[in-house]
């Protein structure tokens, strides 16, 4: 009896320790980024370990949100107009790419699992294999194409490039999700006279929610961190995202570490809100009905 209690307590302790370890691993560097963003430039270099700045400063955040700022001893315009615009661009492109990718993957993957058409498996293999193509390999031809279609510096252009980059992973993921769903459920609906598309939307998709959410998260976060694509295809603030704006805080002769870290800390807020919001769909007991 007591041995069992001991075992349980030990298990709990082990679990708690694992949670702490995970938190330290994930949050440690983020915490350091936060500390750097709150440290005055003067105190950044220190040969002793300091876990919290001696003097706290909000100046880097003030530069991001304020009206003016100081650069190399001179008062210049604030970066807020650029920052807010790039922030918006990041959100718009990542969200739109996510919606389009997940929609196409939801239908496409279903066809790859349940329908039979010529060249199906080859097509699937080719699409998944494109994951391995480095961005540099296709950049120049893609650039020519985008110019010809007048899609440079447009949301449409960037979004479709993102979709083409992240669709293979989403398709593969959704295919494995559909494969795990017992076919009997669909057959029942199908025998009841529901159409294929209707069955997919009404029966299969709800059962696949965790998979859909995982695919959406993967796409959103991959798009959020994209750098090469917008660098080339988003020349101006009309579509330029945060990832391309932030390196501008590194001038050739002066790196504004505080400002970069402040911008990075702000940049993690939207994805985190999204994760917290989507979490209950990702980790939910929806599978209860499928395991019979």
Partner 1 sequence: MFALFNRLRPHGKGRTGLLGLAYVTPVIVIMGALVIIPLIATAWDSFYSVNPMKAGKPFVGLGNYTSLLADPNVRQSWSNTFLYVIFTVSMETIFGLAAALLLNRVKFGRSFLLAALILPWCLPPVVNAVVWGWIFNPSYGVLNNGLIALGVLEDNKVWFNDRVTALFMISVVHAWRMMPLTAIILLAALQSIPRDLYEAARLDGAGPIKMFRKVTLPLIGSGLAIALSQSTVFAFNLFDEAWILNGSGYDTRTVMIQVFMSAFQNLKFSYGMALSILAMLASIVVSAVYVLRVYRETRFE
Partner 2 sequence: MSHMPSTKLLLAALAASTVAFAAPALAQDKPYDGQTLSVLLPPWGTLPKEMTDQFTADTGITLDSQTLGWDEIRTKIVTSMIANTAPASATEIDWSWVGQFGAAGWYQPLDGLVDAEAVADAPTAKIFVYDGQQLAVPYNNDFRILIYNAKHLADAGVAVPTTPDEMLDAARAIKAAGVADYPIGLPLSATEGSATAWYLLTKAFGGDLFDADFNPLFTSPDSAGYKAMEFEVNALNEGLIDPSATGLKDVDIQELFKNGQASFDVAGWAGIISVYNDATKSKVAGDAHLALMISTTGTPRSFGLPEAVGIPTNADNAGAAAAFIDWIQQPETQLGAFHTLGNLPPRLSVLESLSNSGELIDGDVLLKQAAYAEPLIAQGTPSWYPEFSAAVASNLNLAAKGQISVQDAVDRIAAEAAAAAQQ
Interhelix angle 155-179/120-129, rounded to 10 degrees, is 120
Please report whether residue 71 would count as binding partner 2 according to CB under 8 A: yes
Please report whether residue 87 would count as binding partner 1 according to CB under 8 A: no
Please report whether residue 17 would count as binding partner 2 according to CB under 8 A: no
Q: Pick between residue 103 and residue 140 the one whose CB is nearest to partner 2.
A: 140
CA distances in angstroms from 103 to 90, 159, 202, 249, listed in the order given: 20, 14, 15, 37
Quick one: CA dihedral 127, 97, 153, 244, positive or negative?
Answer: negative
Q: Binding to partner 1 (CB under 8 A): which residues in 177-216?
A: 177, 179-180, 182-184, 196-197, 210-211, 213-214
Q: Which residues partner with 71 through β-bridges?
A: 74
Q: List CB contacts of 167: < 8 A, sequence separation 6 or more.
A: 101, 104, 105, 108, 127
Kindly indicate which of the ranges 53-61, 62-70, 75-83, 271-279 contains the residues binding partner 1, using the contact rule CB under 8 A.
271-279
Q: Pick between residue 105 and residue 259 the one whose CB is nearest to partner 2.
A: 259
Please report whether residue 55 would count as binding partner 2 according to CB under 8 A: no
Please report whether residue 250 would count as binding partner 2 according to CB under 8 A: yes
Q: Pick between residue 10 and residue 250 the one whose CB is nearest to partner 2.
A: 250
Q: Pick between residue 68 and residue 88 the one whose CB is nearest to partner 1.
A: 88
CA distances in angstroms from 5 to 2, 16, 148, 164, listed in the order given: 5, 16, 71, 53
DSSP strand pairing (74-77 vs 68-71): antiparallel
Among 67, 116, 117, 252, binds partner 2 (CB under 8 A): 252
Please report whether residue 188 would count as binding partner 2 according to CB under 8 A: no
Q: Binding to partner 1 (CB under 8 A): which residues in 41-70?
A: 44-50
Among 118, 192, 236, 252, binds partner 1 (CB under 8 A): 118
Give the C-alpha separation, 239 to 153, whole Å. 6
Q: List CB contacts of 225: < 8 A, sequence separation 6 or more.
A: 243
Interacting residue ranges for partner 2, rule: CB under 8 A: 40-42, 44-47, 70-74, 76-77, 82, 139-140, 143-144, 147, 231-232, 235-236, 244, 247-255
């Amino acid at each position: 009896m007591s041995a069992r209690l001991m075992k349980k307590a030990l298990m709990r302790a082990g679990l708690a320790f694992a949670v702490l370890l995970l938190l330290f691993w994930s949050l440690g560097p983020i915490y350091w980024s936060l500390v750097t963003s709150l440290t005055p430039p003067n105190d950044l270099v220190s040969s002793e370990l300091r876990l919290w700045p001696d003097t706290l400063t909000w100046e880097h955040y003030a530069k991001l949100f304020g009206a003016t700022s100081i650069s190399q001893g001179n008062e210049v315009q604030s970066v807020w107009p650029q920052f807010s615009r790039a922030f918006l661009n990041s959100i718009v492109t990542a969200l739109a790419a996510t919606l389009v990718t997940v929609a196409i993957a939801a239908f496409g993957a279903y066809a790859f699992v349940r329908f039979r058409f010529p060249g199906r498996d080859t097509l699937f293999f080719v699409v998944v294999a494109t994951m391995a193509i480095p961005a540099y390999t296709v950049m120049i031809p893609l650039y020519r194409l985008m110019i010809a279609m007048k899609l440079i510096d447009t949301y449409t252009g960037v979004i479709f490039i993102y979709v083409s980059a992240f669709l293979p992973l989403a398709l593969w993921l959704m295919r494995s999700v559909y494969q795990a769903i017992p076919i009997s459920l669909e057959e029942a609906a199908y025998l009841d006279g529901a159409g294929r598309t209707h069955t997919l939307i009404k029966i299969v998709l709800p059962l696949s929610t965790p998979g859909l959410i995982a695919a959406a998260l993967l796409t959103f976060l991959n798009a959020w961190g994209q750098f090469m694509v917008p660098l080339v295809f988003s020349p101006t603030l009309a579509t330029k995202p945060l990832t391309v704006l932030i390196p501008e805080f590194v001038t050739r002769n002066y790196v504004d570490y505080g400002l970069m870290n402040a911008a990075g800390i702000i940049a993690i807020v939207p994805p985190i809100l999204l994760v917290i919001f989507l979490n209950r769909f990702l980790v939910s007991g929806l599978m209860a009905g499928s395991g019979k």
